[in-house]
Amino acid sequence: MIYLSLLFFSWLTQTETAQPYFPSQITFIKEEAGRNYTYAIDEINQRAYYTQTVDFPDQLHVYAMKHIPYTTPDSPQSKYYVMLEVYQKEFCQYTTAWQYGGVTEEYLPSHWFDEGKLQIGNYVMYAYEMIHSHTNASNEDYWYSSVNCTLDSGDPWPCEEMFFKKDTDIPLRYRYIVDTPMQNYQVTHTYHIISIGKPDDRLFQTIPQNWMDNCTDLNLGLDFDYPTATVHLHESIVVGIRLLSPPHRVNGNDTMILRWEVYKDHSDCIDCITWEPKEFYFNIENFHQFQNLTVTRVKNGPQTTIRPLKQGGEYEKLRPFDYLLLFI
C-alpha cells in the first residue's frame, strides 16, 4: 500500500510540474492586436512556416528549414539551416545559419535562435515556471506563472498565463505583462488551431524552385577598416577590404571581382582622389583576408564618395548604397 501511494504521489507530482507546451507539430493562426499571423511548426522534421499580409495584396511567406529544397549541391544552404523570406510580387531574400553568417529572429520565436544558429523547437518558452490551476472554468485548463508582476493599478498579477481547451493540448490564448519604464500592460495572443499533427506539405511546396538564383543572400557583404576617412592633399590612406561571407560558386566559378566608381550624386568633387588597385579578386579561399585599397588625394576639394561595383559570386545582388566609402 505504501509503495502504491508513493507511485501515485510521484505521478501526481510529475503531472503538476509538467509545463504547458504546444504540440510539437501544429498549424495555427495567432491573433494579436487585430492582426492575424499563420504558423506551421514541425519540430520533428525541423521546419517551420510563417505568413502575414504585408501590404495588400502582397503577402510575406517565411520558411525556416534544416533541409530546404532546391539548393545548389555542396552549397552552405544544402548543409545548414536556412531562413527564406518571399515577398510576393516584390522580392525574396535568405540567410544561412553557419559560421560566416546567421539568421534573424524577426518572425519566428526568438528562443529558436542562439548567436546566429537556429533550432526549430516548441513554439513557447516561458520565462517562469508555470503552475496548473484547479479553480478555472470547466471548459479550460489554466496555467499561471510562479512569479507575479505589477500592473499600473498596483495590483499583482501573474507575469504569464496560458489557457488550453479542457483536458487537451489545444492552446487557446497566452497572456503576459509587458514591463516598460512608462507603463505595465497586458498583451493577449489568441490562437485558432488549424490542425495538430504534421503540417500540410503543400505549405512548404510553395517555396520557389529558383530561390537560390533569384533571391538575395543576406549573409553576403563587404567589410571595411573604416567607411569614412580624411585624406590630405598629396597624401594617401589605406582601407582594408574583405568579404563577410565566401562568394557563391556559380557554374564552377567562385570569383568575385570588386571595382569602385565615384558616386556623383553624393560627391562634391569627382576628380579629387584616385585609388589603386582598380580591381580586387575574392574567392572562397581568400574572401576573409583584407586587401588594401590605397586612396590618394590629387586635388583639394570637399568630400568624395565612391561606391562598389561587384561582379560574380552572387555579390552583384547587393545594393551598392549599403557599402559606400566617404573621403573628406
pLDDT computed for residue 187 by the predictor: 93
Q: Is the pLDDT of residue 4 over 60?
A: no
pLDDT computed for residue 17 by the predictor: 53
- Predicted confidence band at 106 (pLDDT cuts at 50, 70, 90)? confident
Cell numbers placing 225: 577598416
pLDDT computed for residue 138 by the predictor: 78
CATH of the domain at 318: 2.60.40.10
pLDDT, mean of residues 281-288? 97
Residue by residue, DSSP assigns 222-268 as: EEES-SEE---BT-EEEEEEEESSPPP-BTTB--EEEEEEE-GGG-S
Residue 170 included in any domain? yes
Residue 11 included in any domain? no
234 Ramachandran zone, left/alpha/beta (phi>0; psi -120 to 50)? left
83 and 199 together in one domain: yes
The mean pLDDT value of the chain amounts to 90
20 and 160 together in one domain: yes
- Structural domain that includes position 197: 16-219
206 and 233 together in one domain: no
Share of the chain above pLDDT 70, in %: 93
125 and 202 together in one domain: yes
Lowest mean pLDDT among 49-58, 123-132, 177-186, 301-310: 49-58
Share of the chain above pLDDT 90, in %: 74
266-275 burial, b if ≥16 CB within 10 A, otherwise e? ebeeeebbeb
Lowest mean pLDDT among 7-21, 30-44, 50-64, 244-258: 7-21
pLDDT computed for residue 56 by the predictor: 61
pLDDT computed for residue 238 by the predictor: 97
Q: In the listed set 157, 189, 219, which residue is the last one of a domain according to the structure?
A: 219
Give the predicted TM-score (pTM) of the model.
0.84
pLDDT, mean of residues 116-126? 95
Given 3-state DSSP classes, what are the helix, strand and coil percentages for the chain, each rounded to the nearest 5? 10, 45, 45
pLDDT computed for residue 102 by the predictor: 84
- Most confidently modeled range among 51-55, 105-109, 324-328: 324-328
Q: How many domains does the chain have?
A: 2
Residue 141 included in any domain? yes
- Total residues belonging to the chain: 328
182 and 246 together in one domain: no
